[in-house]
Structure formats: C-alpha cells, structure tokens
C-alpha cells in the first residue's frame, strides 16, 4: 500500500489568460488530496472515492470509465472524477512500463471538487506518484508534473494549462508561462478563501473566453492585460523578503492588482453573482484585495487579509458556504505512507 498526497492551489493572478501563453502565478495551499494505491493481480482498476463532494462512490472497471457510479450528483462531475483517475492510471502504467497493471485506488480529498482550488490536479499528481511508487518505479516531481499535465490535457480536451499540475507537484508559489514552469519565492501571504458551494463548468467557461477572444479585439486585449497584471505582481514578489511577513504596503499593491484581475475576469464573463458578492464582502471587511480563483462560474474567491475580519465577513455572506484561512503549502506532492 502506498499513500501520497498533493495540495490544492489558488491563483494570485493569471487564470484563463494562462491558456493563451500569458503568465500565471498560482500558490499551493494546505488543502490536500490523498490517494492510496494497492497493486492488483489483474488489470482491473477499482476506485473508491470519498470526500469529493460526490457523497462517495466505488466503481470497478477494466481500463475505461464507461461504468458510472450511481450517485445523486451532476454526472459531469462524476465523469470528471473517474476520468482524471483513469488518465492518471494510464500515465503511471506508461511511466512504469506496466501496461496491464491493475490497482485498488482510494481517493480522499478536502479540496472541493470543481471549485477552482485544483482538486483534479491534486488527485492526478498524487495518483501518479502513488501508482508509480506502488509499482516500484518512482519518478521525480517534475516528471510527475509533466505526466499530470498530459492527463489533464486529455480529460479537458486540450484546454488544460500546466499551472495547476506543476503547482501541486512542486508546492509553494510557481510561475507558469506556456511550457516554462518555475518555482518562485514568496512571503507567506495571508490568504483567505470563500467557497459558494458550487462548481463552474471549466470547459464551457474556457470555451466562452476563447470565443470572445476570437471575436473581439478588446477581449484579446483583456487577456493580454491579465498577463501584464501577472508581470507586475511577479515583480512585487521578487522584491519581497520571503523570510519576512509581508508588510501592509506590499499587501496593498498585490491586493490592488488582484482587484484589477477580478474586474477583467468579470469582463470576460467568468465571474458569477455569488463570487462577486464574496469579493465585495471581503473588500468591505478590509481585505487588501479579492478575486475569483480558477475557472469561475461558481466556486471560490481568494482574498488577502492578515486579520480575521474577511473570514468572519464571508461566513455571514449570503451564498458563502465555507470560509477558511489557506496556509501556503511548502511541500508539493509527498509520500504519506508506504
């Protein structure tokens, strides 16, 4: 039995624009997916999922995800949950040169599914690491990130970026621009997350931005402007002392950029009433900045606030079902048990 875990993430800046080669800066957070893998004597894969906003399910199949678990949940989420595990299995088999390897897999996660916190990336990253280790063929974190990206690219019909999987594999803060992925140093930013209990349709949202970008020059310019915001934020982080707590001046500058980023994402049609309500609740509570994180359409916002005020305000905001402080996850994917 091998157990590996990988963290979720929030975007400081850059979601959606990163799909078009603009830079993005996501940060890993201490909300984790844990994947337990036990090799089997046949080529079947048995997946038991818990805590995936799906009320739990178990399904066994022989190399495809045509057999769907019977749960009272949107089937697109079920298909995604099994699809990501299936893609991770294929990558692990290929990496270990074991095309007929079978596995019993248990997935546990405290990352809400489809909420913009990188739940699928964390499951795929942890799954590839656990499965290759269980087969006696471990691979390094960068190779895990590369293969996890390939898995997400497959499941998301070519609309994935490397940001989520690289951040989950490496931990900390990272910068992604096209195929260029690097870790960056950052202070331990006071991140607060608000969750509306929903989940956006990533494919539909990404497709909508693509249609706008291809139809209107001003939409293409908006995507490029998000890239400019990322570069400004990156420059601020580069001047900060990663060993010191960020001061109010740095937080105010970063927060202002986050606010601008949210406005541009709203203009591209990927926000939602619940997300906007949480963003404004955070700002009114004194947060230095707040924005949606992830694909949008529902899910989560992230705010910068070292005080308890934003978390308190969000907990009383209509439509917010959970609010929590998100600590930066220094560790990326890691082994929990062997």
Domain boundary at 143, 161, 184, which?
A: 184
Domain boundary at 184, 199, 226, which?
A: 184
Average pLDDT over residues 11-28: 94
Q: What is the pLDDT of residues 294-319, one digit of tens each?
A: 888 989 999 999 999 999 999 999 99
335 in any annotated domain? no
- The 10 Å Cβ neighbour count of residue 43 is 14
Q: What is the pLDDT of residues 266-277, one digit of tens each?
A: 999 999 999 999
Are 175 and 302 part of one and the same domain?
Answer: no
Are 207 and 74 part of one and the same domain?
Answer: no
Are 42 and 137 part of one and the same domain?
Answer: yes
Are 14 and 78 part of one and the same domain?
Answer: yes
Q: Which residues are catalytic?
A: 164
Are 161 and 111 part of one and the same domain?
Answer: yes
Q: How far is CA 55 from CA 48, 130, 319, in A?
A: 11, 24, 21
Are 174 and 54 part of one and the same domain?
Answer: yes
Are 218 and 255 part of one and the same domain?
Answer: yes
Average pLDDT over residues 38-53: 81
Q: What is the pLDDT of residues 208-255, one digit of tens each?
A: 999 999 999 999 999 999 999 999 999 999 999 988 889 999 999 999
Domain boundary at 184, 219, 248, which?
A: 184
What's the number of domains the chain is made of? 2
338 in any annotated domain? no
299 in any annotated domain? yes
Q: What is the mean pLDDT of the chain?
A: 89
pLDDT at 180 over 80: yes
Burial class (CB in 10 A: 0-12, 13-18, 19+), 179: exposed
Are 153 and 239 part of one and the same domain?
Answer: no
Q: Is the pTM of this model over 0.85?
A: yes
271 in any annotated domain? yes
Are 83 and 104 part of one and the same domain?
Answer: yes
Enclosing domain of residue 227: 191-326
> Which CATH number fits the domain that encloses residue 299?
3.30.70.890
Are 199 and 146 part of one and the same domain?
Answer: no
């Amino acid at each position: 039995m091998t157990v590996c875990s990988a963290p979720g993430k929030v975007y400081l800046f850059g979601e959606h624009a990163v799909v078009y080669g603009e830079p993005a800066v996501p940060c890993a957070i201490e909300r984790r997916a844990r994947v337990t893998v036990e090799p089997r004597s046949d080529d079947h894969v048995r997946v038991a999922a818990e805590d995936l906003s799906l009320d739990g399910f178990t399904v066994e199949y022989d190399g495809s995800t045509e057999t769907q678990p019977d749960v009272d949940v949107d089937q697109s989420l079920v298909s995604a949950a099994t699809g990501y595990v299936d893609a991770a299995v294929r990558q692990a088999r290929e990496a270990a040169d074991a095309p007929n390897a079978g596995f019993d897999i248990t997935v546990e996660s405290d990352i809400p599914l489809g909420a913009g916190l990188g739940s699928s990336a964390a499951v795929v990253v942890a799954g590839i690491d656990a499965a290759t280790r269980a087969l006696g063929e471990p691979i390094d974190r960068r190779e895990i990130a590369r293969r996890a990206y390939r898995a997400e690219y497959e499941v998301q019909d070519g609309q994935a970026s490397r940001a989520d999987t690289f951040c989950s594999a490496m931990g900390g803060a990272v910068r992604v621009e096209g195929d260029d992925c690097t870790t960056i140093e950052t202070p331990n930013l006071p991140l607060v997350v608000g969750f509306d209990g929903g989940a956006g349709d990533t494919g539909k949202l990404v497709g909508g931005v693509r249609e706008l970008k291809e139809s209107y020059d001003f939409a293409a310019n908006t995507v490029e402007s998000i890239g400019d915001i990322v570069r400004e934020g990156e420059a601020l982080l580069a001047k900060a002392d990663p060993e010191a707590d960020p001061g109010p001046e740095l937080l105010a500058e970063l927060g202002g950029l986050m606010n601008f980023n949210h406005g541009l994402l709203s203009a591209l049609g990927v926000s939602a009433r619940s997300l906007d309500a949480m963003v404004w609740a955070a700002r009114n509570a004194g947060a230095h900045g707040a924005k949606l994180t992830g694909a949008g359409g529902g899910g989560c916002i992230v705010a910068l606030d070292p005080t308890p005020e934003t978390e308190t305000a969000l907990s009383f905001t209509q439509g917010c079902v959970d609010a929590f402080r998100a600590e930066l996850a220094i560790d990326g994917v890691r082994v929990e048990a062997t």
